[in-house]
């Protein structure tokens, strides 16, 4: 946004009085940025002194596994690397090993999924779908539940009716608010399918007292720079399976074999976590509960002041304890705003009594506040558009002809969230006073 455009917004009468003299925040208020403490430095210094011997990694893996309640946590370079590793390991468990394919079918000819379909959350980041495609599989997108914004178990059942052969399911806990993982796990078991649980955003969140990431056959954590605790980068693969844990660690370090020369018996990668990053995360881990408490206070303040007739905050599922990583608001469906989005651009009309998500986004930006539209569903992304999407109404492919006449409105929770939702600043360094002003800006958008 240009300075002039920002000033034009700030000068609108509806924002009068929020700042003196049409001012704005001097320090930018962030969506979610790293919050560092002092302990991190001690661990990093230790890694320096020991010549990166891997002690931080070993300790972090032990502490994380204990905290989550799984047998193994393998420290990897990022959440994305952990996701890709999980897909490969799961696919090999289901369909056989890549190594044998590489030898008989020729290197690189087929990924571990070799053309098989995988059910994947539609309302998510592209990490899951990317990993499926990199391994030569075909994602089928499963719609979200409006009760928690994560995969809808009822839709998953419909997906299994249409594609009964599917043996792998991948779901995420959107924005740190857990989904119906118990029900999803049950459905997977009934169909003999493995489950990958993406807890990248939900570290510390619980379902019936048990940590997210511990329910799936594989769990994923991310320590990326916007996450609730961070190593600036970093990720983890969680599992109770001894073989998978061993394989993940070995494969992430070039599949080295203990021989005097470099001996290559299997394909390898280089995606192990560094000892420095592990040190950073060890220091951060001590502040996880404190970060969750602050995120929760932010969410509750928004909820108290914004949740009502015109907006609601991300829903908290029954029996779940979110980590409140990201506070998101959604304009109620009875609020008729005028906003249009093309692939890359948007427009809206200011109207009294309503506000569109991008109108609020622009207003916040004008006051130097970062916000973000919620996930654009995978089924709406150009790169994934050819793949099937299942909602409560069934398969998109079945309903394609209805779409043509432009009249049929198919139930599509993920799309509805995208069109009406906005992630609000949830940075734990944001002060109460700053948040009050942000709430005032959001409210004023409806004038
Ligand atoms: C952050 C995030 C990832 C990616 O993790 P990286 O550590 O950045 O690779 C994957 N999935 C979700 C849902 C995330 O929020």
Share of the chain above pLDDT 90, in %: 89
Please give the pLDDT value at position 399.
78
Please give the pLDDT value at position 406.
62
CA of 226 to the centre of ligand 1 (A): 9
Instruction: Give one DSSP letter per residue of 362-413, joined into a string.
Output: HHHHHTTB--EEPPPPGGGSGGGTTS-EEETTEEHHHHHHHHHTT------H
Residue 65: pLDDT above 90? yes
The secondary structure of residue 207, as a DSSP letter, is: E
Mutate to test the pocket of ligand 1, among 124, 128, 196, 200 (most ligand atoms within 8 A of CB): 200
Q: Whose CA is nearest to atom 8 of ligand 1?
A: 224
Q: What is the mean pLDDT of residues 170-192?
A: 98
| pLDDT digit string, tens, across residues 242-292 | 999 999 999 999 999 999 999 989 999 999 999 999 999 999 999 999 999
The ligand 1 atom at the shortest distance from the C-alpha of residue 80 is 9
CA of 89 to the centre of ligand 1 (A): 19
Q: Decide which of 3.90.1150.10, 3.30.70.20, 3.30.450.40, 1.10.10.10 is the CATH code for 3-35+288-446.
A: 3.90.1150.10
- Work out the pLDDT band at 408, boundaries 50, 70, 90: low
Please give the pLDDT value at position 103.
47
CA of 322 to the centre of ligand 1 (A): 17
Please give the pLDDT value at position 198.
98
Q: What is the mean pLDDT of residues 183-209?
A: 98
CA of 399 to the centre of ligand 1 (A): 32
C-beta 200 within 6 A of ligand 1? yes
Buried-exposed string 244-274: b where 16+ CB fall within 10 A, e elsewhere: bbebbbbbbeebeeeeeeeeeeeeebebbbb
The secondary structure of residue 87, as a DSSP letter, is: H
| pLDDT digit string, tens, across residues 75-112 | 999 999 999 999 999 999 999 875 444 444 444 446 89
Cα distance from N-terminal residue to C-terminal residue, the chain? 22
What are the residue boundaries of the structural domains of the chain, listed by start?
3-35+288-446, 39-285
C-beta 359 within 6 A of ligand 1? no
CA of 42 to the centre of ligand 1 (A): 27
Q: What is the mean pLDDT of residues 133-142?
A: 97
C-beta 212 within 6 A of ligand 1? no
| pLDDT digit string, tens, across residues 307-363 | 988 899 999 999 999 999 999 999 987 778 999 999 999 999 998 889 999 999 999
Instruction: Find out whether 92 and 112 touch, Cβ atoms under 8 Å.
Output: yes
CA of 212 to the centre of ligand 1 (A): 15
Residue 170: pLDDT above 60? yes
C-beta 202 within 6 A of ligand 1? no
Please give the pLDDT value at position 108.
47
Q: Whose CA is nearest to atom 6 of ligand 1?
A: 79
For the chain, the average pLDDT equals: 94
Q: What are phi and psi of 44, to 5 degrees?
A: -65, -45
Q: Does domain 39-285 have CATH number 3.40.640.10?
A: yes
C-beta 121 within 6 A of ligand 1? no
Please give the pLDDT value at position 233.
98
CA of 321 to the centre of ligand 1 (A): 20
Please give the pLDDT value at position 100.
43
Q: Whose CA is nearest to atom 5 of ligand 1?
A: 79
Residue 127: pLDDT above 80? yes
CA of 352 to the centre of ligand 1 (A): 38
Mutate to test the pocket of ligand 1, among 83, 224, 225 (most ligand atoms within 8 A of CB): 224
The number of beta carbons lying within 10 Å of the beta carbon of residue 139 is 26
Question: 53-57, 121-125, 146-150, 263-267: which range is least confident on average?
Answer: 263-267
CA of 275 to the centre of ligand 1 (A): 20
Residue 407: pLDDT above 70? no
Place of tokens 């200011």: 350
The secondary structure of residue 18, as a DSSP letter, is: S
| pLDDT digit string, tens, across residues 364-380 | 999 999 999 999 999 99
Pairwise CA distance, residues 186 & 192, whole Å? 10
pTM of the full structure: 0.96
C-beta 176 within 6 A of ligand 1? no
């Amino acid at each position: 946004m240009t300075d002039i455009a920002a000033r034009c917004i700030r000068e609108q009468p509806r924002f009068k009085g929020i700042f003196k003299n049409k001012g704005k925040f001097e320090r930018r208020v962030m969506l979610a940025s790293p919050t560092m403490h002092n302990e991190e430095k001690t661990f990093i210094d230790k890694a320096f002194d020991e010549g990166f011997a891997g002690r931080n990694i070993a300790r972090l893996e032990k502490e994380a596994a204990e905290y989550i309640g799984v047998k193994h946590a393998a420290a990897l370079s990022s959440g994305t690397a952990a996701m890709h590793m999980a897909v490969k390991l799961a696919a090999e468990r289901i369909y056989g090993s890549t190594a044998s394919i590489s030898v008989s079918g020729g290197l690189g000819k087929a990924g571990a999924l070799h053309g098989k379909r995988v059910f994947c959350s539609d309302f998510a980041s592209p990490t899951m779908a990317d990993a499926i495609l990199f391994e030569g599989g075909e994602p089928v997108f499963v719609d979200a539940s409006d009760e928690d914004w994560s995969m809808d178990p009822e839709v998953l059942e419909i997906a299994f009716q249409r594609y009964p052969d599917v043996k792998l399911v991948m779901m995420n806990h959107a924005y740190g608010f857990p989904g119906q993982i118990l029900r999803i796990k049950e459905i997977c078991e009934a169909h003999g399918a493995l489950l990958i649980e993406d807890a990248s955003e939900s570290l510390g969140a619980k379902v019936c007292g048990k940590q997210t990431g511990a329910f799936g056959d594989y769990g994923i954590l991310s320590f990326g720079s916007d996450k609730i605790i961070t190593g600036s980068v970093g990720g983890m693969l969680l599992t109770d399976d001894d073989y998978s844990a061993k394989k993940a660690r070995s494969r992430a370090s070039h599949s080295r074999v203990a021989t005097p020369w470099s001996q290559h018996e299997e394909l390898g990668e280089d995606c192990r976590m560094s000892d420095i990053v592990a040190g950073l995360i060890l220091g951060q881990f001590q502040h996880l509960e404190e970060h969750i408490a602050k995120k929760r206070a932010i969410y509750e303040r928004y909820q108290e002041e914004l949740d009502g007739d015109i907006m609601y905050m991300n829903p908290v599922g029954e029996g779940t304890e979110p980590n409140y990583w990201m506070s998101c608001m959604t304009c109620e469906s009875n609020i008729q705003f005028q906003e249009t989005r093309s692939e890359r651009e948007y427009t809206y009309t200011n109207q009294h009594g309503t506000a569109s998500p991008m109108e609020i986004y622009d207003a916040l930006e004008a006051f130097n506040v970062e916000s973000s539209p919620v996930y654009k569903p995978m089924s709406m992304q150009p790169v994934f558009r050819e793949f099937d999407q299942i909602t409560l109404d069934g398969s998109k492919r079945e309903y394609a002809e209805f779409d043509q006449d432009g009249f049929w409105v198919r139930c599509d929770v993920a799309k509805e969230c995208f069109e009406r939702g906005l992630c609000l600043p949830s940075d734990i360094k944001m002060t109460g006073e700053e948040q009050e002003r942000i709430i005032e800006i959001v409210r004023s958008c409806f004038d």
